[in-house]
Structure formats: structure tokens, C-alpha cells
Structure 1
């Protein structure tokens, strides 16, 4: 799998998620778990197809966190059950149900594809099984459909772009054009940019959209040139992002109209984009180049354990492990002590390679987002774009 397609896998056809969630309800009985000798964890991740590399990175990060605890949670041995979700939303409910009813897992860690996530979410809400989301950014999971037993360790789709507005206005960029794919992930990312940019005093000249996954950008780039904004803000990812970056430069806009975006715009595509990417500004909750002892030690330990370099997905899997460890320690491994378990997880301070973060009332990370610039093929951190940034949690009734 190429680096561009690997990055692309975090941006997904979320529009299918609502249909999955709206499927006929399963009659799942409440969970009844005996305090056995082992804690069973179901890893429901993509292990084949386009998204396999991300699934493997998440699992590696998660396993590293457990290895640091001697492979135990709250003193109890751990058994891991792996299930390939195939990034197929239509199988989300069925596969999650297998883990809960057949394999009787205590925890589900999953997944990448937000359409699949909504299937897992349905089962988690109905069964009460603890669910940790290590990637999928779909808003509903920690907004209107939030649940006491569901925790996310990655981001909501609007968080990276919610960090863009203030830095752009601070640089004097007060009129912007937005461009993205017309699907739920793009619309949720636009929400973050719209709110942060306008609240900082900027104005959006126009928002431009393409059907997902269309990559014929030329007509819209011509329109951008005619609008002459101070800057362009965007959310693209993977191969589509790489093509947008090169097309943007080829259209003569590079160096004339600054390009800003969600951090996933430049994740995994810099080698393919080459010099066309230089100068692009992004906001992201992690960067390989974070010069902190915590990140440097994590990268060293990960490389030793897996003979590869970690990425943002590895960190999100690692942090899912850290969050579970914090909860299990508080209840001495008794994951059936749910009120105490959830309270501990809600109050945990996660000492992550990305920087310390906490959990919002809606169970989404409250975390720093870094301002980055592409310089000679690297995303270099310039500073913090937004400190302790929280998703709105709109519609969540947990608290």
C-alpha cells in the first residue's frame, strides 16, 4: 500500500454510516461477564485491503502500550481476538456482534472506517460493551449518539480545522475560500473551519465542493484564481490530496494564494507531491517531528518492537491502550465495575507522544493541535495552533 493511499484511509465515506446505524435493531441482551482469569479484547480493524496498513499501525501501537505493562491490565492477563472488518460498513453490526456474543470480549477496539464504526457503535450502545475508537472521526459517536461506554482516542472530524481559523487570521489572511469533497467528512471538517475562522474575524468568500472521490480540480482552481482570496483552506487526504497539491501548484496558485488545511492534507503524500507541497500550512494533533522526550522515546521503543516507524495512527492505537490501562488499574482489572471504570477513564490524563490530553464530557480527546509547515518534504512543527482544543459534543446527553 502506498503512503498516499494509507493516509487516505482515515477519510471515509461517512454517508454510509447513518444508513448502517439506522438498520433494524438487534435484540442484544445486556452483557454479563464473569471475572475470569483473562480480559478479552476484540481488535476490530481493517487487516486486508486498502486500509490494512492503518489497522496494523493501530494494533502495533495498542500492543506496545500493553507490552509496557507486562501484557497485563490491572494485574490480569489479556487475550486478544482479531477480526478483520474489511472496511465494509454493511458488515459492521454483524462483525461487532460476533465479538460480543460469540467471542464474549470485554472490550472492542475499533475502527478506522467511520461507516463501519457506526455499526460497532450500534452494537456497543445496545450491548454495553466497552468500545475504544482509535481513529474514526465521525461526529455522531461523541455527539448526539454518545454513550457512557464509548471513548475516542483520536479526533473528531472538525477538530483539525477548528484549529486553523485563529492562526490564519493572525497572519492577516481574512478572506478565504474553502474546498473539499462533498461528503460527511468534508462537511464536518468545514464546520470546524467555518466556526473558527469566522469567530476569529475572517470571512469565507465561497465554499467549493466536489463529489467524493472526484479529483478533477481544474475548474474549481480556475474559480479560486478569479476570486482572489487571501488564502484557501481545505480538507483532502491521501491520493486525492496529493493530486490537489500538485494541481494547485500547476495552476499557478502556489506562492500567490497560501494553502492551509487539516493535517491529513499532507500526511503520507509529501514524497509524491514533491516541491509542490512546500509552504503548505496544516493543523494536526501529532507530528513525527515533535521534539519532546516523550515522543522521541515512544518512536525509539516502537521502532525496536516493530522494525518500522510509527505514525499518527500508531499513536492513536497506543493511546487507546493507555486509556484502557488507566481504567483497568483503577478497578484492579474488574472491567465489570463499570461506574468506577468509566469515571477513571473520564478523568484520566493521557501522557501521549502527541502531548498530554484529557477526555471531554462527551468522551472525545481535549488535545493540542500543532501548526505545521511543509519544508523540504517534512511537516515541521512551528508551534501550537490551538491549546487543549475540545469538540463541541453537541447533542451529547452524558453530562
Structure 2
């Protein structure tokens, strides 16, 4: 009897211990499943790109709202930081979200220089990062990583398409002008690659510091050089001022102006007469013939009393991509490998048209030719379909 009791007692103790472990594990798992997904929005809310940051935020939150305020059954909690489009503050700001606020996923940003610093912080902390705008080629090139995804574009993509379009229009000599920062310089390189492949020549590459908007000296030089056309990369308030200055200088009717679509997205109202007829290339346009875009535009307008632009689309698709990953993991953010694989394989039903992701985690997407008509960037053609960035330097 003593031996029997001795044998039973350890078994009971083991069973009780196992039950306790299971209970604790179950409670922990339940808490993990019940706690909100912590999303860190690191976007500009002041300065030149403030309107862009607002549109991205609106788009992201709109998709979450359409899912009942949840992603894969999990509530979403937002943590925000104004990155001020300032690369010198980027590391500190990203660390606030990752280390102080313990976010599960970083979403940002607009400025390419800021995004490069964000990518470094995300990689060091193994934090999921979704880039809803910044087109820095490096992000899905040399800095590509399993945890880094982009729902927008590379600077190369729309610029390369415009290089093709400009050459097809018969222009042989072009002057380029941009802010001297990653986005502008890479856009010029993409344009130049396609334009020169088609036999064109860049007669002069001009730059000015970001966010300087004193364009007059450059306009005077453009008038003296008399190129066949001008290609520029500007966005936000600076883009609107450039278009107005170009028009006021009397150049619009004599030297055609072309650009990546950021010149006119969200800026046509501020441009007024100067914006009419401008042609740009981008992965989104007004007048696309697809049901998703019609539903998105209606929902966005009802919610925010505004018409959406490309930035809103990119934010919306960032939420769509995150939901695809979470759904595969049944909302369990800790299953990072499952989430990543699902995001890599996702086919996003976007307002821009359905797109997939390249091996470098960048959208493979159609690039549209748009013309500013009646305050909209109307689609007038699709010069390149399913354009994939070359992802030069990506070792993933």
C-alpha cells in the first residue's frame, strides 16, 4: 500500500503540473489572440508631405474599418509618430514605435531617406515593415529582407515607363530636374535608362536641395537650352509650385513637361490652370475600369468627404497585405514565418488593378499614362503591363 501510494502521488503531481502548464499556456495563447494588433504608423503629418501621410493613414484605416475594425479577427491599435520627412530623426522615431510602443508591424513612410533608416531599425529588431509609399530602389534592392514589404512602387517603375513614352512621342533631347534626394535621383536614372535605350539623350541633369522651391534659375536655363521636353520628379506642395512656375514662365506651351505621377497626384487643385493637360505615368489613375476601384472611391469619399489618390490606395493595400498574412496565421502575429509566406504569395485586389509581389517583395503592376483633365488624372493608356522592378542587388 505504501508503494502504491508512492507511485500514485508522483503521477498525480505530474498530472496536476501538466494541467497547470496547459492552463497557463492556454491563457497566454488566449491573451495573445485577444490582444490588439499593434500597428505603428510612422508618416509625415507636418511639412511638404503632410497631405500624403494623411491619405495613406486614411486608406489603411478605411480597409480596417471595412473589416469591422479588425484584421483576421483581431482588433487593431494604432501608434503614430510624425516623421517630419526628416531622415536625421528617423532612427529615433522608428525606435520609439518598436522599443517603446512594442508595435507588431511598422507602416511607413513617404520620404525615401526616412524609409531607409526605418528599414534598418526594422531589420535589427526583426519587426515586420510595410512601406506604403517611399520608392527608394534600395528597399527592395540591396536592403531587401524577408520582413520588408512594399505596396507602392520603386522610383524606377513609373520613371522607366515615362522614359519609354517620351521617346515614343519622338523627343530626342531632354532636360531633367528634381530635388537632390534618393527619390528624385533614382527617378531620373529610371527615366534616363529607358529614354537612352530608345535613342534619346539627356542634355542636362539639374538638381536642387529638398525641399527648396526656388525654381526660377532652372526655368531660365531650360528656356535657354531649348530641349524637346523636360522630365521632373516632384511631389506635394513643391510639385504644385513647380507646375505654376513652369506655366508662368511661358514654358508649358513650348517645351512639353513630363513626370512620374506624383507631380499631379493630390496637387491638381493647387496647380489650377498650370496643371491642365500634364501627362504623367503611375500605377494608379482616375477612370480605371474595375469594380474594386469604384467601390473604394465611393467608400473613401463617404468616409472622408474627399476623393482618394494614389497615396490612399497604397495605404489601403498595405492593410490588405497585412490582413492576407494575418489570415493565414489565424490572427496570431507570433507566427511570423506563416505571415511572411502568405504575404509573399498574396494576390491583392487593389483599386489600381490586381497585383502580385516580386521575389523582392515589390508590386508587379501595370503602369498607366495619365492626362490631367477636369481636375483628374485620367487614364489614357497603359504603356507597360505587369512591370517588375529589376531589384538590383537583392540577395534574398
Matched, 1:280 2:278: yes
Equivalent residue for 1:91, pick from 75, 89, 98 = 89
Which residue does the alignment assign to 2:15? none
Which residue does the alignment assign to 1:298? 296
Which residue does the alignment assign to 2:4? none
Distance 1:243 1:146, change over 3 A: same
Which residue does the alignment assign to 1:232? 230
Shift of 1:49: 5.0
Equivalent residue for 2:54, pick from 53, 56, 62 = 56
Whole-Å separation in 1 of the counterparts to 2:83 and 2:220: 40
Whole-Å separation in 2 of the counterparts to 1:246 and 1:95: 34
Q: Which runs of 5+ in 1 are unaligned?
A: 1-32
Shift of 1:350: 0.8
Equivalent residue for 2:63, pick from 46, 65, 78 = 65
Whole-Å separation in 1 of the counterparts to 2:107 and 2:140: 16
Distance 1:92 1:221, change over 3 A: closer
Deviations 1:159-179 (A, max 9, x none): 221110222222222332222
| Higher fraction of helix | 2
Whole-Å separation in 1 of the counterparts to 2:226 and 2:123: 48
Shift of 1:50: 4.9
Aligned pair count reads 366
TM-score normalised by the chain length of structure 2: 0.85
Shift of 1:376: 4.1
Matched, 1:389 2:378: no
Which residue does the alignment assign to 1:129? 127
Shift of 1:252: 3.2
Whole-Å separation in 2 of the counterparts to 1:218 and 1:233: 16
Q: Which runs of 5+ in 2 are unaligned?
A: 1-28
What is the DSSP-based 3-state SS (H/G/I as helix, E as strand, rest coil) of the residue aligned with 1:349?
coil
Whole-Å separation in 1 of the counterparts to 2:331 and 2:301: 29
Q: More deviation in 200-209 or 157-166?
A: 200-209
Equivalent residue for 1:140, pick from 138, 141, 145 = 138
Which residue does the alignment assign to 1:349? 347
TM-score normalised by the chain length of structure 1: 0.84
Which residue does the alignment assign to 1:37? 34
**8 Å Cα contact 1:135-1:152 kept in structure 2:** yes
Whole-Å separation in 2 of the counterparts to 1:253 and 1:144: 39
Equivalent residue for 1:289, pick from 262, 279, 287 = 287
Which residue does the alignment assign to 1:188? 186
Shift of 1:67: 2.2
Whole-Å separation in 2 of the counterparts to 1:367 and 1:302: 22
1:244-263 matches, within 5 Å, as 244-263=242-261
What is the DSSP-based 3-state SS (H/G/I as helix, E as strand, rest coil) of the residue aligned with 1:397?
coil
**8 Å Cα contact 1:59-1:314 kept in structure 2:** yes
Shift of 1:298: 0.4
Matched, 1:108 2:106: yes
Shift of 1:338: 2.3
Shift of 1:48: 4.5
Deviations 1:7-58 (A, max 9, x none): xxxxxxxxxxxxxxxxxxxxxxxxxx98442222222233455544333322
Deviations 1:120-148 (A, max 9, x none): 21221011111111122222222111111
Whole-Å separation in 2 of the counterparts to 1:272 and 1:69: 34
**8 Å Cα contact 1:275-1:376 kept in structure 2:** no
Shift of 1:374: 2.1
Which residue does the alignment assign to 2:172? 174
Distance 1:49 1:250, change over 3 A: closer
Whole-Å separation in 2 of the counterparts to 1:44 and 1:78: 16
> Highest Rg: 1 or 2?
2
Distance 1:294 1:37, change over 3 A: same
Shift of 1:86: 4.0
Distance 1:223 1:78, change over 3 A: closer
Whole-Å separation in 1 of the counterparts to 2:223 and 2:212: 20
Which residue does the alignment assign to 2:116? 118
What is the DSSP-based 3-state SS (H/G/I as helix, E as strand, rest coil) of the residue aligned with 1:195?
helix
Distance 1:219 1:346, change over 3 A: same
Shift of 1:393: 1.3
Whole-Å separation in 1 of the counterparts to 2:85 and 2:249: 35
Shift of 1:84: 3.5
Deviations 1:373-394 (A, max 9, x none): 1234432210113211222211
What is the DSSP-based 3-state SS (H/G/I as helix, E as strand, rest coil) of the residue aligned with 1:329?
helix
Which residue does the alignment assign to 1:11? none
Whole-Å separation in 2 of the counterparts to 1:369 and 1:254: 24
**8 Å Cα contact 2:49-2:236 kept in structure 1:** no
